[in-house]
Structure 1
């Protein structure tokens, strides 16, 4: 199994930059697997900022749902950076598609990868309990997803204020 690295933190904590640097530390041209679907101008601006920051050194694959397939299809080249698991999970929940089987499919795919995989995710459970059922379900699902990916990861880094703290 290739190296599996999970980078987590709060919103705007600097986790994507930390993950990009980690992915670039491996040999080969890195592959950026984007899970977002920019539906509005604000999200398009965020995506554009990520693209500008990365520059032309990356291959980009856009895949909002079939993450295991994208990993399998890009295995054997450079490191892959998945940004991010939080948006990936939200894509399933907002489409009212079952996410649990997809998590198991992802975990199996991670275990068979030869090239490194760096995954970005948000830590969403460190605040108040949300007032609505969908937000609570999302928070719980994200916590479950993060725990399962952290279990198969050989390295887990928490990013706070742009500073990485390796916790596994």
Structure 2
């Protein structure tokens, strides 16, 4: 199996996960599903169940919110779903003391920007450790920066973080696919 990185991006409910699952099964009859989500409410629990039922029993399921590289995945096709929730886990761990702030002064704004830089560096390093393994990786992510600019400083910082992470992964990827209304559009 040749090492490969594929990024699948798009808006919510654009068909990213379904398409990524189909691709993974073309590469491997028993692909690995590396889930990065933390279950925070009942509605999200139902979403996770829906995804699990759609996949079926032939998938190898691993739940890992942060340390993706600690799993030995060489020789497998690995679907990481998703980078957005993975980045969220790092972001909220690093910025817990500033979460409730709606209005920022200059010092808090600078601290927030520093936090984003530090978290982005952690994510890049963990991504690089993971993708050193000889496997085919499919990464699902969201294009959250396509909407308007949020009035909330925390949301703006997260949008920046995910945008920069997506750019990093896209640069490393062999293939990038944008999902639009269930239709895959090859970007790279």
TM-score range, shorter chain: over 0.9
Q: 1:157 deviation in Å? A: 0.2
Q: CA RMSD in A?
A: 1.4
Map Cα deviations across residues 79-109 of structure 1 (whole Å, 9 max, x no partner).
Answer: 0000000000011112226522322223422
Map Cα deviations across residues 34-69 of structure 1 (whole Å, 9 max, x no partner).
Answer: 000112101100000000000111000000010222
Find the aligned partners of 1:102 and 1:32 in 2 and give their Cα distance: 22
Could you tell me which runs of 5 or more consecutive residues in structure 2 were left unpaired when the two chains were aligned: 96-117
Residue 113 of structure 1: aligned partner: 133
1:130 paired to 2:144: no
Could you tell me which runs of 5 or more consecutive residues in structure 1 were left unpaired when the two chains were aligned: none
Q: 1:110 deviation in Å? A: 4.8
Once superposed, which parts of structure 1, at least 4 consecutive aligned residues long, lie more than 6 Å away? none
Report the more deviating stretch, 26-35 or 135-144.
26-35
How many positions carry a matched residue from both structures?
165
Find the aligned partners of 1:65 and 1:109 in 2 and give their Cα distance: 12
Residue 8 of structure 2: aligned partner: 7
Residue 43 of structure 2: aligned partner: 42
TM-score for the superposition, normalised by structure 1: 0.93
TM-score for the superposition, normalised by structure 2: 0.83
Distance 1:93 1:107, change over 3 A: closer
Find the aligned partners of 2:144 and 2:7 in 1 and give their Cα distance: 15
Q: Any idea what SS the aligned residue of 1:57 has?
A: coil
After TM superposition, list the pairs within 5 Å mapping 1:1-168 onto structure 2: 2-70=3-71, 73-76=72-75, 78-96=76-94, 98-168=118-188
Residues 107 and 152 of structure 1 are in contact (CA less than 8 Å); yes or no, is this contact kept in structure 2?
A: no
Q: 1:111 deviation in Å? A: 4.4
Find the aligned partners of 1:42 and 1:52 in 2 and give their Cα distance: 16
Residues 158 and 165 of structure 1 are in contact (CA less than 8 Å); yes or no, is this contact kept in structure 2?
A: yes
Tell me which structure has the larger Cα radius of gyration. 2
Q: Any idea what SS the aligned residue of 1:12 has?
A: coil
